Amino acid sequence: MLRYKENISEYIIKCRRDLHQIPEIGLNLPKTLEYVKKELKNMGIDYKEFKTCTGLSGLIGKKTNKKVIALRADMDALPITEETKVDFKSTNGNMHACGHDAHTAMLLGAAKILKENEDKLNGQVKLIFQPGEEYGGGAKVMMDEGVLENPKVDAIIAQHVMSIPYFKPGQIVTKKGGMMASSDRFKIKVVGKGAHASTPEFSKDPIFMTNQIINMIQGILTRENDVQNPIVISISNIKSEQPSTPAYNIIPNYVEILGTVRCLENDSRDFVNKRLEEIVSGVTKTMGGNYGYEYEYGYPALNNNNDMVDYLSGICKNIWGENSIMLLPKGAMGSEDASYYFEKIPGVYYGLNTIIEGEEIYPLHNPKVKLNEDVFEKGCRLLVEGAINFLNN
């Protein structure tokens, strides 16, 4: 039986509400960092700071064997103005609309329990408090500075709150293999020749070329890709050259296209990159234009280790029953920079459903999203049990 010196649910909720009022974005989270440091000091947990970002790692346990498991929480917020009516709402123009305040609070709760039960650990638990998940790739930044070394980490567990209306509050969801998609971006510049709109024959119309390019991009998905292999290509912005006062009688010299690519299989990224440029090159050459092309590889796809998924499922079913965890039939097309950790070591990433029954459900990243605080203790306990069982079995 694990020891608790205080009501852990109350502690997690307090931490979450404190953090919710100081949301910060990117890799530099000074107020959040100081809050976490203060809590770890009060628990007597040794921690390490990082030079390249405001990340933090802590260690609990002894080197009784060489096993080490990491528990990871992301800490950054979003540049969203909050529109909830909670007493602890943010007022600084940022918002924890993705629930990272809850992730940090649940890991602090897990740290408190694990420290109080340190004598039960047959190995070490590395706590990873990470900035820059939304912007900046904080996982890779911390890895480059050695967060998975000294001591070397054998496996990792990471969780995320989710708003899933067709599951019960507190249900856990995960998936074997591809759980989250990669996230890449592209920029295309279609260069033509401007002219008066009444004489299009004197132009090399970049808008007409852009229309052909967009139609052919959709053909990658419908005619070239296996329908069993999820890929999303989204055009998110189209902007043509225009004078300071937009005019209706000008065919512009160029059009810029911005977009994103999501793939559940990392091998698909090179295929999409290659085909995008081939299409742009072919269309512009055929129509007498030119082009610029940039493809930026972002977060890789997140692949759960099948054995770790089975392991976590067993823990959930033993504690909360058969229906406490659901294995998803397909991955999500959202991305997550925890994928960098999962490329190096086996891990399991899962979602904790935090909808509030009886209230309107808003998705994550919405300025009105609210989380069910009653289920935070469950997320905390799963981190604790996952760590203890991994080290002791």
Annotated binding residues for Mn(2+): 98, 100, 134, 160, 365
Instruction: List Cβ<8 Å contacts ≥24 apart for 237-242.
Output: 238/210, 240/206, 240/207, 241/194
Residue from 110, 258, 127, 124 nearest 184 by CA: 258
Structure tokens at 133: 């998940």
Angle between helix 30-43 and 100-116 (nearest 10): 20
Judging by DSSP bridges, how do beta strands 172-174 and 325-327 pair with one another?
parallel
> What type of residue is 290?
N
Active-site position among 145, 241, 343, 373: 373
83 is annotated as an active-site residue: no
DSSP string of 52-104, one letter each residue = SSS-EEEEEE--SSS-EEEEEEE---BS-------TT---SS-B-TTSHHHHH
Question: What is the C-alpha R_g of the chain?
Answer: 24
Segment holding 261, helix H or strand E: strand 254-263
Residues 6+ apart with CB under 8 A from 20: 86, 88, 89, 90, 96, 101
DSSP state of 350: E
- To the query of whether residue 24 is one of the catalytic residues in this protein, the response is no
* Candidates 35, 254, 299, 311; catalytic one: 299
How far out from the chain centre does Cα 28 lie? 17
Which residues participate in the annotated binding site?
98, 100, 134, 160, 365
Distance CA 253, CA 141 (A): 40
Number of Cβ within 10 Å of residue 262's Cβ equals 25
Burial class (CB in 10 A: 0-12, 13-18, 19+), 250: middle
* Pairing mode of beta strands 177-180, 195-196: unpaired
Comparing C-alpha atoms, which of 390, 176, 184 is closest to residue 303?
Answer: 176
- What values do phi and psi take at 298, rounded to 5? -105, -135
| H-helix segments, 240-304 | 267-286
Catalytic residue set: 299, 373
